[in-house]
Amino acid sequence: MKTRAKHLYQPPFNDGLPAPIYFRSASIPAEAINPQHHHLWGELVYSFSGVMEVKLADRHYLAPPQYAVWLPPFVEHMGVNKVETTFCSVYIAQELCAALPQSTCALTVSPLLRAVLEHLRDHPPGERRSEAEDRLLRVVLDQLANAACVGSYLPTSDDPVLGPVLRVLEGNPGDTRSLPELARHANSTERTLTRRFQRELGMSFAEWRQRLRVVKAMPLLEGGQTVERVAFDLGYSSASAFITMFRRMLGVTPDEFRKGAQRASPNEKPASE
């Protein structure tokens, strides 16, 4: 599947890392792409604001700010983002990856790991790192080794029955049809779709749709739309119902998320194109 983009950005290193653990943060514009590539080292990708997507040959990983995507060494991948995104990458030399996941996955970001990544973003290590900076980067490594692997926050599927239903909802996240109604639209049954959601995606229909709406809400909130407008656009009959769902899923209210995203955006260097 071809991905169209207005902006192109390249990996910062080709031959080797400047240090065994290297931190880099940047902002990239909407509709940007990092072409297919691989490297000898592992990479953690974390979005402070926006949602970064990582595509492999047969899988698609998407992680909002509660999660990060881990890529072991040698994995062919490409990066995509549909909205303006402020993110960081932590590059880890192959010899330090033994205790980290051996396959690509989304990792839960602990409050401590997020705080360390935010500190590194605001105080990026210099070319000649201090002992304190080295210790902080080792904390990142320890946190990654203990992080829970959750697959993809919003998995997808090319299943001939389930895939069309997912595409309909992705195209219109405010669609309020029930699972039985969507099953009839797909010439299937509620029971069949229920089984395929669990088998293919590892979660219920309700859980997947809520995650989809959270992901769709993020750029709208960051773009300045009111909570009420976002709630109604996403199919909620009231702002309070949307706020309750959003807080349950992300641990913060939509307004708290918006304020956090605004704090994440200043002082970032654009990624080179």
226 or 218: which leads in pLDDT: 226
Q: Do 172 and 131 have their domain in common?
A: no
The per-residue pLDDT for 264 is 54
Q: Do 12 and 141 have their domain in common?
A: yes
The per-residue pLDDT for 245 is 94
Q: Do 168 and 141 have their domain in common?
A: no
The string of pLDDT tens digits covering residues 226-254 is: 999 999 999 999 999 999 999 888 778 99
Is 151 contained in some domain?
no
Q: What's the pLDDT band for 187 if we cut at 50, 70, 90?
A: very high
Q: Do 178 and 235 have their domain in common?
A: yes
The string of pLDDT tens digits covering residues 24-65 is: 998 888 778 888 889 999 999 998 877 778 888 767 787 777
Is 59 contained in some domain?
yes
pLDDT surpasses 70 at 261: no
Q: Do 173 and 112 have their domain in common?
A: no
Q: Do 16 and 136 have their domain in common?
A: yes
Q: Do 77 and 176 have their domain in common?
A: no
The per-residue pLDDT for 27 is 86
Which of 146, 171, 193 terminates a domain? The answer is: 146
Q: Do 44 and 167 have their domain in common?
A: no
How far apart are the C-alpha atoms of 11 and 37, rounded to whole Å? 8
Which of 117, 146, 175 terminates a domain? The answer is: 146
Is 166 contained in some domain?
yes
The string of pLDDT tens digits covering residues 106-154 is: 898 999 999 999 999 999 988 788 999 999 999 999 999 999 888 778 8
The per-residue pLDDT for 79 is 86
pLDDT surpasses 80 at 266: no
Q: Do 108 and 206 have their domain in common?
A: no
Is 215 contained in some domain?
yes
> Tokens standing for 150?
């959750």
Residue 228's CATH number: 1.10.10.60
Residue 81's CATH number: 2.60.120.280
Which of 87, 120, 146 terminates a domain? The answer is: 146
Mean of per-residue pLDDT scores for the chain: 87
Number of domains, the chain: 2
Q: Do 138 and 176 have their domain in common?
A: no
Q: Do 234 and 120 have their domain in common?
A: no
Is 157 contained in some domain?
no
Query: Per-residue pLDDT averaged across 14-24, rounded?
Result: 89
Is 54 contained in some domain?
yes
pLDDT surpasses 70 at 267: no
DSSP assignment string, 68-118: EEEE-TT--EEEEESS-EEEEEEEE-GGG-TTS-SS-EEEE--HHHHHHHH
DSSP assignment string, the chain: -----SEE---S-SS--SSSEEEEEEEE-SSEEEEEE--SSEEEEEEEES-EEEE-SS-EEEE-TTEEEEE-TT--EEEEESS-EEEEEEEE-GGG-TTS-SS-EEEE--HHHHHHHHHHHHS---SS--HHHHHHHHHHHHHHHHSPB-S-SS-----TTHHHHHHHHHH-TT----HHHHHHHTTS-HHHHHHHIIIIISS-HHHHHHHHHHHHHHHHHHTT--HHHHHHHTT-SSHHHHHHHHHHHHSS-HHHHHHHHHHHSTTPPBPP-
Residue 243, domain extent: 162-263
Q: Report the relative pairing of strands 7-8 and 32-37 from DSSP bridges.
A: parallel
Report the candidate in 236, 227, 232, 214 with the shortest Cα–Cα distance to residue 255: 227
**149 alpha carbon, distance to own chain's centre:** 13
The string of pLDDT tens digits covering residues 201-210 is: 999 999 999 9
Angle of CA points 179, 180, 182, to nearest 5°: 65
pTM over 0.75: no
Q: Do 128 and 224 have their domain in common?
A: no
